[in-house]
Amino acid sequence: MILVAVGVIASLYYLYYVHPQSTTSTSSTVTTSLTTTSSTLLVDPSRIDLELFVSSVDGVEEFRNIAVINAETVDSLLLRPLDIKTDGLSSISMSGRALLESSNNTYTINMPCILSLNVSCPRITAVIPGYDAPLRVEPGRYLLSVELSWSEARGRGRVYLSISPRAYDAVIIYLGSYQPEDTSGWITAKGSTRSYALLVDKTEAPAGRSGYGQFTVHAWVFEAAGEEYKKFRLELTSLETGKTAAVLEVPVKKQGPNYQALLLVKAKPGEYLLRITSPVSLELRLRVGH
């Protein structure tokens, strides 16, 4: 009896300490051969790498809960392929669909024609929020799932796909038609008057952990007699390249005697010119440091 007891204890010690039981991750659910770059959820990734094995002419593959994207405040997302490679395939057409789910909100982003190798891939010409232009999302902790579908595949091989969830250099996000509680210490654009103004909480900001600096912007126009302002148009231009980095047209509401908009500007390191071009013309210089 003593020898049997010693044998049982030794076996348990080996199983749970010397050779612990393997664990499996729920970061993705798939139906065919699939490899992701990590066995755990990636939190706020700047890049998501997927690997897909294709052995049929057409098919669908789902990557469930492969990343967590945190939006601490109102934010924008733009999902774009950063890098696509194929191995062993002579032709394929591939599209995708992303699903973002939090406890309060759900967003679906269609991603047509991610890959077109030796075949055509027609798509709608309309701008798709989240794929062609940034999509505004409410604050939350979002689980990201991606579904990939393909057709006209020839051969057997793999597709390597990298996606960025924030694939923009700069973005202007509309927060609402209201005035901040306190704008003391804010910088006012030259040319502002008692009838209209453009203000920012600061003109220089460091790039945070996300790689973006951010500024809070307030634009307002006094309602002149007989005038009605339905939209504000704002532009952000890179002073280094001369290219327009972001454009936003927002419908505005009258609050008291003014039409106004509160906005958030996020940008990668560099120098920018922020302008409101309609219904008035004002501008400010912004700088994001490394």
**pLDDT at res. 9:** 43
Average pLDDT rounded to a whole number, residues 144-161: 96
Bridge partner residues of 97 (DSSP): 110, 147
**pLDDT at res. 18:** 37
205 token code pair: 């900001």
What integer best gives the mean pLDDT of the chain? 86
Q: Are residues 147 and 235 in the same domain?
A: no
- Answer whether residue 174 is part of any domain: yes
Under 8 Å between Cβ of 74 and 139: yes
Q: Are residues 29 and 160 in the same domain?
A: yes
- Answer whether residue 192 is part of any domain: yes
**pLDDT at res. 157:** 96
Q: Are residues 204 and 257 in the same domain?
A: yes
pTM higher than 0.75, yes or no?
A: yes
- Answer whether residue 63 is part of any domain: yes
**Which range, 42-46, 133-137, 228-232, has the best average confidence (pLDDT)?**
133-137
Q: Are residues 179 and 274 in the same domain?
A: yes
Among 122, 139, 164, the domain boundary falls at 164
Average pLDDT rounded to a whole number, residues 220-239: 88
**Which CATH number fits the domain that encloses residue 94?**
2.60.120
Bridge partner residues of 24 (DSSP): none
Query: In angstroms, rounded to a whole number, what is the distance separating the alpha carbons of residues 123 and 126?
Result: 9
Per-residue pLDDT for 68 more than 90? yes
Q: Are residues 143 and 192 in the same domain?
A: no
DSSP 8-state assignment for residue 18: I
Q: Are residues 160 and 191 in the same domain?
A: no
Query: In angstroms, rounded to a whole number, what is the distance separating the alpha carbons of residues 180 and 261?
Result: 10
Average pLDDT rounded to a whole number, residues 88-106: 96
pLDDT band at 227 (very low <50, low <70, confident <90, very high): confident
Among 127, 145, 164, the domain boundary falls at 164
* Residue 40: domain span: 25-164
Range of weakest confidence among 15-29, 34-48, 102-116, 260-274: 15-29
Q: Are residues 59 and 124 in the same domain?
A: yes
Query: In angstroms, rounded to a whole number, what is the distance separating the alpha carbons of residues 248 and 278?
Result: 11
**pLDDT at res. 34:** 37
Q: Would strands 270-278 and 135-137 be described as parallel, antiparallel, or unpaired?
A: unpaired
Q: Are residues 158 and 30 in the same domain?
A: yes
- Answer whether residue 18 is part of any domain: no
Per-residue pLDDT for 36 more than 50? no
Name every residue whose Cβ is closer than 8 Å to that of residue 14 and which is 6 or more positions away in sequence: none
DSSP 8-state assignment for residue 239: T
Among 111, 133, 164, the domain boundary falls at 164
Under 8 Å between Cβ of 266 and 171: yes
Q: Are residues 135 and 204 in the same domain?
A: no
- Answer whether residue 10 is part of any domain: no
**Which CATH number fits the domain that encloses residue 232?**
2.60.40.10
> pLDDT digits over 167-208, tens only?
999 999 999 998 898 999 999 999 999 999 999 999 999 998
> pLDDT digits over 212-223, tens only?
999 999 999 998
Per-residue pLDDT for 77 more than 70? yes
- Answer whether residue 150 is part of any domain: yes
Range of weakest confidence among 1-10, 57-66, 91-100: 1-10
Bridge partner residues of 83 (DSSP): 162
Residue 84 CB burial class (10 angstroms; 0-12, 13-18, ≥19): middle
Q: How many domains would you assign to the chain?
A: 2
Choose among 172, 177, 103: nearest CA to 140. Answer: 103
**pLDDT at res. 225:** 61
Under 8 Å between Cβ of 221 and 280: yes
Q: Are residues 158 and 230 in the same domain?
A: no
Q: Are residues 199 and 94 in the same domain?
A: no
Under 8 Å between Cβ of 200 and 285: no
Query: In angstroms, rounded to a whole number, what is the distance separating the alpha carbons of residues 262 and 252?
Result: 10
236 token code pair: 């952000």
Residue 281, H or E segment: none
* Amino acid residing at 214: Q
Task: Give percent of the chain with pLDDT exceeding 90.
Answer: 73
Please state the separation of Cα 239 from the chain's center in Å.
24
